[in-house]
Amino acid sequence: MPGPGYHNPRKNRVRQRPDARPSHGLRQRLYDLLFTIETPAGYRFDVILIVVIALSVLTTMLESVAELRAQWGAVFAALEWGFTIVFSLEYLLRLVATNRRLRFAGSFFGVIDLLAVLPTWLGLLFAGLPSLIFLRTLRVLRVFRLLKLWKYSREAQYLLAALRASLPKISVFLFGVGTLIVVLGSVMYLVEGPENGFTNIFVSLYWTVVTITTVGYGDISPQTPLGQFISSVVMIMGYAIIAVPTGIVSAEIIRGEPDETPEEPCP
C-alpha cells in the first residue's frame, strides 16, 4: 500500500458509488485497478494509460501530415490498431468490472472511451465504401482520446465542478449579453444604415458580436461619428464582459477547492 507521503492525484475526481464496486472476487480487484488509484497497481495502470493516450493522439497528429503519411503509412496503421485494441480492451474490462454498466456506458467518460475506439472499427467496417472524406473524418475523431486525460486530473475535476456550479449565474449573464447584442445591433442598423455596410439587422448583430468580443475583423466598420462613438463604447464594454464569467468561475473554483493545509494538533 502507498506510504504516508503518498499523494493521490485523483482523490475526489469521481464520486465513488459503493453499489458500482463488486463485493468480492476477480471483478472487485479489476474494479480497483481500473476505477481507483488507492493501490500501487492502480496508480501504475493510470500512468501507463496516460502515456498511451498521449502517444495515440501524437500518432494521429503526425498521420495528418501528408509527407509523413506517405512514408510511414504502414507504421501509423499498425500503431493505430495497437492503440485501438488497448483502448477497446480497457473499455470492455470497465464494463465487466462495474456493477453499473449502463450508468458507466452513458456517462461522459464512458462515451469518450467509446468514441476513442469507434472510428477505427467503423473505418474497418466501411472500408469498401468510396467515401474517403467519411473515413478521414472518422480518423480525425480519434483525438477524442485526448479527453480521456481529463479523468486523471484532480484539477480538471475541480474546473468541471466549478463550471457546473457557475452555470446558473453564467446563463443569466449570457442572456443579458444576448439582449445587449440585439439592442446594440438594432441601434447600429439605425445609425449607420445599408449605405455603410449595415445592410440588415442580422449583419449589425454580426458586427456587434465581433466588436464586443474584441475580435474586430474590420470587414464592416462604422462611418458616422455617432457610430464610431458607439463602436468605441462597445469595445470597452467587451473587456468587462469577458472578465465577468472568468470571475464567476474563479470564485467557484476557490470555493470548491478543498483546504489541504495540515491541521495542527491542539497543545
Res 215 pLDDT > 60: yes
Give the domain-ending residue among 152, 172, 199: 152
pLDDT at site 152: 61
* 130 plus 145 within the same structural domain: yes
Percentage of the chain with pLDDT > 70? 76
- DSSP secondary structure letters along 217-259: --SS---SHHHHHHHHHHHHHHHHHHHHHHHHHHHHHHHHS--
* pTM attached to this predicted model: 0.57
Give the domain-ending residue among 104, 133, 152: 152
Res 250 pLDDT > 60: yes
Percentage of the chain with pLDDT > 90? 24
* 180 plus 100 within the same structural domain: no
Does some domain include residue 4? Answer: no
* 148 plus 165 within the same structural domain: no
How far is 214 from 238, CA to CA, in rounded Å? 6
Does some domain include residue 50? Answer: yes
* 232 plus 174 within the same structural domain: yes
Does some domain include residue 2? Answer: no
- DSSP secondary structure letters along 98-113: -S-HHHHHHSHHHHHH
* 114 plus 169 within the same structural domain: no
Q: How far is CA 165 from the centre of its chain?
A: 17
Does some domain include residue 110? Answer: yes
* 167 plus 219 within the same structural domain: yes
Does some domain include residue 265? Answer: no
* 148 plus 30 within the same structural domain: yes
- To the nearest 10 degrees (0 to 180), the angle between helices 66-97 and 108-125 is 130
* 46 plus 88 within the same structural domain: yes
Q: How many domains does the chain have?
A: 2
| CATH number of the domain that residue 34 is part of | 1.20.120.350
pLDDT digits (tens, 9 = 90+) for 45-68: 888 888 888 888 888 888 888 899
Does some domain include residue 9? Answer: no
Res 190 pLDDT > 90: yes
Identify the residue with better confidence: 90 or 21.
Answer: 90
pLDDT at site 132: 45
Does some domain include residue 5? Answer: no
Q: Which of 120-129, 153-162, 193-202 has the highest mean pLDDT?
A: 193-202
Res 202 pLDDT > 90: yes
Give the domain-ending residue among 152, 182, 212: 152
* 133 plus 179 within the same structural domain: no
Nearest to 84 by CA among 155, 15, 139: 139
Does some domain include residue 17? Answer: no
* 66 plus 135 within the same structural domain: yes
How far is 173 from 4, CA to CA, in rounded Å? 45
Domain, as residue range, for 79: 26-152
| CATH number of the domain that residue 192 is part of | 1.10.287.70
- DSSP secondary structure letters along 6-26: ---TTTTSS---GGGS-SSHH
Res 1 pLDDT > 70: no
